[in-house]
Structure formats: structure tokens, C-alpha cells
Amino acid sequence: MEGVRYASFTSFATTKSSSFSALSPSSIIILRQKPHKKALKSISHRNLVISASSASNSVVTLLDYGAGNVRSVRNAIRYLGFEIEDVRTPKDILNAERLIFPGVGAFASAMDVLTKTGMAEALCTYIKNDRPFLGICLGLQLLFESSEENGPVNGLGLIPSVVGRFNSSNGFRVPHIGWNALQVAKDSEILDDIGDHHVYFVHSYRAMPSDDNKEWVSSTCNYGDDFIASIRRGNAHAVQFHPEKSGDVGLSVLRRFLNPKSQGTKKPTQGKASKLAKRVIACLDVRTNDKGDLVVTKGDQYDVREHTKENEVRNLGKPVELAGQYYKDGADEVSFLNITGFRDFPLGDLPMLEVLRHTSENVFVPLTVGGGIRDFTDANGRHYSSLEVASEYFRSGADKISIGSDAVYAGEEYIKTKVKTGNSSLEQISRVYGNQAVVVSIDPRRVYLKSPNDVQFKTISVTKPGPSGEEYAWYQCTVNGGREGRPIGAYELAKAVEELGAGEILLNCIDCDGQGKGFDIDLIKLISDAVSIPVIASSGAGAVEHFSEVFVKTNASAALAAGIFHRKEVPIQSVKGHLLEEGIEVRI
Ligand code: 1PR
């Protein structure tokens, strides 16, 4: 994960409390100074003495410098039966039996913390002494000479090359989010089970292979260009992808690092995985029902109540159980949308945070959570910023947060003023956690028009005419779960939120929601052609053919469905099987 602009020196290696009461303004310390523009002083690599470790064989030392969510890595390590010891001093690094460094945040702030704490020097010594090391994501990038991320900024300087940004001008969407294939270049041991499987990436910066660093490169990945997916030299390993979010195959990478003697299932084979896979996402709309239980519900055009005398909220199951089931069934991501978050304060909704915590203990694919992310003042006058709300979601296990209503207001304001204030929830959260962690959920409704000149918003010529034979439509954004239409179109909003820092768009359609008649291809094509960030097509899936249709006819990166999965009408594996038959690459 890149992009975090804060790194709490004082929170270094502290175990973050997950309780709501622990969330105080002081729990987030934001370094507001500008990231280093100048190169940092190079780090001397003098050898430090490594004392014999007293750690038991099941202990993993974790370098968490307090810059973001490493809960998923902790969960994965524990799931594999290992205990975690946090690094508190450079000596803890030198004494580690095995060290995992899940780099999060921005390159410059990470280097700043590592240098100030003496960890940078200890890390270099530890790796040079060939001690077991696994860097993840930024934990790989920091090993290189420097990065262009808000830089140039010097890195640890162990591997020749500069970390640069992906080039989006050749049609590849940045951030690079999703499941991609690897080309394994040499025996890396920890990648022995990967073979024909995809692994999960989420990043905007990457290091490129060259003659200077080829002795380090153990695998590459192609996304526009070939970039370094993993390195290995002796006992030093690092991966650009997220093993803790790469399902079973990712867990096997971690297991092979933690226990090199563990037997894998197979040696690398020439695989089916060849490029970025289209993602299939299971979505759980969650709310409290009239009995006070948090349930998974599902609407018809956003109406989630049964049409019976009791008029109850439709109850389709328990959130943690269903999320776990979808993980086992092969969902590439799981999304929770707290659909009444717009009126309830989400941090007051402790059951939702509990759902996230429990889900993240057993679900090792990305988790997104949305609903109610905005500034809020409670009955006692205590103000909570949207950043605090998001931070609590991240601490509870979310990998991405999704903003709905508040992003509409931010988009409207930005279009009116052309000024990026930096104050909107979208800007604040993407500045701190990186834009790859921020999804904007758009809830548009189709409005048919006789003439494209009837509105000031982007219109389309519709494939199927409207009820009175209208040939045009615009897509009006709504807020508060579709209850209020706003003076902004989905096209205008998508472009505005991309500029404000969104990393991905979840594109719903109220007209299609729950109808099972297929995605709104006109809408999805309009938006996925307009932006260069990934677009998730949502609303209307009723059959496997709807998934292939949306991937063939539009530039959507992922397709999300709810009702057909909840009602067990179409299993996730049938969707994937069909997509494979149609020649569309998916993770298997
Ligand atoms: O505005 O920031 O509090 O976020 C609220 C979030 O809750 C938004 O993401 C909004 O989309 C969602 N939401 C609000 N009300 C509802 C509702 O249904 N009454 N759910 C709602 C939206 C839409 C989809 C759904 C797909 C697929 N759910 O995500 O899962 O349409 O369904 P299908 O496959 O059955 O057709 P904020």
C-alpha cells in the first residue's frame, strides 16, 4: 500500500487497539510536513553484531512502523499458527529469527521513520547478514536505491534501480489493482506453489528489472511493462504483491517463508494465468433489521423491505458467515456496504466493526467497507472526522473504504469551484491511506430525455429506448441510499472524484439493482471509458452471461453481484467457469 502521509513516531510498533474507545484524535498523528524532496542521506551499512535469538521457532518478528493497516498480515501469520513479536528497537530486528516487513504508506514517510529510529541501518545489516527476511509491497520497494514517489527519495540502497510510477498513458489503469500472473524467473522457494495462479497486487509504483538487479529478481509481472514482482537473494525475499490477500496461494507463500521445510503441493508450472484477471466481487448490503440484528439484506431498486404486511427488512443471512462462504467459493473481493450508514453514525455501530474484525481473521482476499464515511458530530458535541471513521474501519480489517454520499457533495463542490480544498473525506483519506484504498460508490438513476440538450450533464444515446420512446438519457447521482437526487451526473462525478483522489469506482445503477436482467452496459461503458482508474460494474447480474457481456462490451475491471449469490442461484465458480470458457481471464 502506498500513499500514507502519516507515520506516527510514537505509535511505532505499538499494537493498535481495535476498540472504539481507543479512537481519539491523538491516536492519529499526522506528519504534515512535506515529504522529502531532497535525497535522504545515504545509510551506512556497517555490520552490527547479531546476538543469538532466544525466540522460539513459532515466533515471527513483525516490523510495523505504525503507518497503516497491517492487520491482514497479522491475521494471516496467526492463521498459519505463528506468534507475533513486534519490533520496538533496532535490536529487535537484529535478534529476529525471521522478520516480516509489510511496508505500508508512502515511501518518503516510511524512510523517514526507518532512518530516525535506526531501523534502516538495522534492516540493512540484517539482510546483508542473510537472515530470513520477507518484505511486502512497500517492504520490497524500500530495498531499492530510490523512489520517484513524492521524490526522488533515497531508499535502503540494497538493490540497484529506481522505483517509478506506472505509466497510465498506454491505457493501463493506475493504481494496478487486482489479480495478476507472475513469470517466475528463478527458484525462489517461497513461490513454489504459485505456478498457474494469480496473486493480488495493489500499487501505483513499481521497480523495473535491469541488468544491474537481475541477480535479485525472482519473478516479474506484466502490467503494461514488465516490473519486479518478487526478489530473492539467499534468505532475503520480498514481494510486490500481497500474499496475505492472495487467498490460499498467498498463504502458501507465507507458509513457505515461515517454515521453509514445509512441503508445497507442486513446483512451478507454465500456468493459465497470463495477465490481470477480471475480478468477481461478492457484495453484502448490511443493516440492522427491526429486531436489532445486523443482517445481510438485498434490495429491489434499493427497496430492502419485504412487500408483506409486516414490511420487514429482507434477511438473507449473517454477514461474517456469508463473507467466509464467498471467500471459500472463490470471490476475488468481498464488499460490505453499511446501507443505513448515512443516518447512523458508523462508529456507533460496533457490530459492524466486529463483523469486519471477525471476517478479516479468516478471509484472505481484499475487504472493502462503505457506508456513513463522513465528518460527524455526536450528541455530546464530539466531532469525528471522516478520516477517523475510515481509520477505524481500516484498523478493524478493511483494505479499502468506499464513500457514497459524501463523495457526491465533494464532487459537486469541486465542479462548482474548481478548487481542491483537501478537506473532503475523499481527499483526506486518499492523502493518508493512498488512493488505492479509496473507492467511490456511485448510485445513479437513469433519467430518459427526448433531446440530449435537455440537461447540462453528459447524455448518452440509449441502446433501449425509454418508456415514451426517448432515445437519450443521463444518469443522475443520488445520496442517502438513493433517496435524494442531486444536480450532478455520474459521468461528471466519476471524473471529479478521480481528480480528487479516488482509486476506484463502484458503479451501481438503481434501475438495475436486484432486477437480474443484466448490468447497465450503456452506463458502465460511459464511465469506464471516461476515467483511468478501475471501474467495478454493479447492479443487475442475473446469469453468468451478464458477466461476460459486461467484460466484453465495456472496460470494467471487475463485476460485483449480490442477489444471485445470496439466493444461491448462481455460484461464484459457475461465473468464473463461464468467463474462462469465453476466453476472459479470471483467478481460479
Ligand atoms: O452514502 O457513504 O453512506 O454509502 C452508502 C452505501 O450503501 C453506498 O455504497 C450505497 O450504494 C449503499 N446503499 C445505500 N442504500 C442501499 C440500498 O440498497 N437501499 N445499497 C445501498 C446499494 C447496491 C449494490 C448492490 C448491487 C448488486 N447496494 O452494491 O449490491 O446493486 O445487487 P444485485 O446483484 O442484486 O443487482 P454512504
**Would you say the C-alpha torsion 334, 339, 340, 344 has a positive or negative sign?**
positive
Most ligand 1 atoms within 8 A of CB, residue of 281, 322, 336, 337 to mutate: 337
Asked if 443 is an active-site residue, the reply is yes
Please tell me if the domain spanning 59-258 has the same topology as the one spanning 278-301+314-582.
no
Q: Considering only CA atoms, which residue is closest to atom 10 of ligand 1?
A: 481
Q: How far is the CA of 558 from the centre of ligand 1 (A)?
A: 16
pTM above 0.75, yes or no: yes
Q: How many residues does the chain have?
A: 588
Q: Which atom of ligand 1 is nearest to the CA of 408?
A: 1
Predicted local confidence at residue 352, as pLDDT: 85
CATH 3.30.420.40 fits 278-301+314-582, yes or no: no
Q: What distance in Å separates the CA atoms of residue 521 and residue 506, rounded to the nearest whole number?
A: 14
Predicted local confidence at residue 32, as pLDDT: 27
Asked if 290 is an active-site residue, the reply is no
Per-residue pLDDT of the chain (588 residues; tens, 9 = 90+): 454 433 333 333 333 333 323 222 222 222 222 333 333 333 333 333 333 334 458 999 999 876 667 889 999 999 999 999 999 999 999 999 999 999 777 788 889 999 999 999 999 999 999 999 999 999 999 999 999 988 799 999 999 999 999 988 878 999 999 999 999 988 888 998 888 899 999 999 999 999 999 999 999 999 999 999 999 999 999 999 999 999 999 999 999 999 877 655 544 444 466 889 999 999 999 998 888 888 999 989 998 898 888 888 989 999 999 999 999 999 999 999 998 877 777 676 678 889 999 999 999 999 999 998 999 888 788 888 999 999 889 989 999 999 999 999 999 999 999 999 999 999 999 988 888 899 999 999 999 999 999 999 999 999 899 999 999 999 999 999 999 999 999 999 999 999 999 999 999 999 999 999 999 999 999 999 999 999 999 999 999 999 999 999 999 999 999 999 999 999 999 999 999 999 999 998
Alpha helices in 402-520 (DSSP H): 405-417, 425-433, 490-500
Instruction: Count CB atoms within 10 A of the CB of residue 125.
Output: 20
Please enumerate in sequence order all residues whose Cβ is within 8 A of that of 534, keeping only pairs 6 or more positions apart, or say none: 173, 175, 177, 178, 503, 504, 505, 557, 558
Asked if 292 and 534 touch (Cβ cutoff 8 Å), the reply is: no
Predicted local confidence at residue 108, as pLDDT: 87
> What fold characterizes domain 59-258?
Rossmann fold (3.40.50)
CA distances, 548 to each of 331, 526, 542, 552 (Å) = 16, 18, 12, 6
Q: What distance in Å separates the CA atoms of residue 209 and residue 364, rounded to the nearest whole number?
A: 29
Considering 137, 221, 477, 512, which one is annotated as catalytic?
137
The grid cell for 517 is 436482467
331: Cα separation from own chain's centroid:
14
Q: What distance in Å separates the CA atoms of residue 262 and residue 222, rounded to the nearest whole number?
A: 29
Burial of 121 (0-12, 13-18, 19+ CB in 10 A): buried
Q: What distance in Å separates the CA atoms of residue 57 and residue 415, rounded to the nearest whole number?
A: 57
Q: What distance in Å separates the CA atoms of residue 159 and residue 538, rounded to the nearest whole number?
A: 42
Predicted local confidence at residue 160, as pLDDT: 95
The residue extents of the domains of the chain are 59-258, 278-301+314-582
CA distances, 16 to each of 59, 94, 163, 245, 391 (Å) = 19, 23, 30, 20, 11
Considering 64, 412, 443, 498, which one is annotated as catalytic?
443
**pLDDT, tens only, 325-370:** 999 999 999 999 998 877 777 676 678 889 999 999 999 999 999 9
Asked if 223 and 166 touch (Cβ cutoff 8 Å), the reply is: yes
Asked if 536 and 366 touch (Cβ cutoff 8 Å), the reply is: no
Q: What is the DSSP string of 393-429?
A: HHHTT-SEEEE-HHHHHHHHHHHHH----S-SHHHHH
For residue 140, which amino acid is it? L
Could you tell me which residues are annotated as the binding site for substrate? 372, 508
Residues paired with residue 279 on neighbouring β-strands, in sequence order: 558
Predicted local confidence at residue 56, as pLDDT: 55
Asked if 365 and 398 touch (Cβ cutoff 8 Å), the reply is: no
Site residues for ligand 1, CB cut-off 6 Å: 283, 285, 298-299, 302, 304, 337, 339, 341-342, 370-373, 402-406, 441, 443, 481-482, 508, 513-514, 538-541, 560-563
Kindly report the average pLDDT of the chain as a whole number. 87
For residue 182, which amino acid is it? L
Q: How far is the CA of 372 from the centre of ligand 1 (A)?
A: 12
Predicted local confidence at residue 30, as pLDDT: 26
| Phi, then psi, of 332 in degrees rounded to 5 | -85, -20
Q: Which atom of ligand 1 is nearest to the CA of 442?
A: 11
Asked if 504 is an active-site residue, the reply is no
Q: What distance in Å separates the CA atoms of residue 483 and residue 5, rounded to the nearest whole number?
A: 35
Q: Which atom of ligand 1 is nearest to the CA of 540?
A: 36
Q: What distance in Å separates the CA atoms of residue 45 and residue 42, rounded to the nearest whole number?
A: 9
Q: Pairing relation of β-strands 279-288 and 558-561?
A: parallel
Q: Pairing relation of β-strands 444-449 and 400-403?
A: unpaired
Q: What distance in Å separates the CA atoms of residue 407 and residue 492, rounded to the nearest whole number?
A: 12
Q: Which atom of ligand 1 is nearest to the CA of 542?
A: 34
Q: Which of 486, 505, 534, 241 is closest to 370 using CA atoms?
A: 505
Q: What distance in Å separates the CA atoms of residue 59 and residue 82, rounded to the nearest whole number?
A: 6
Residue 157 is given by DSSP the state -
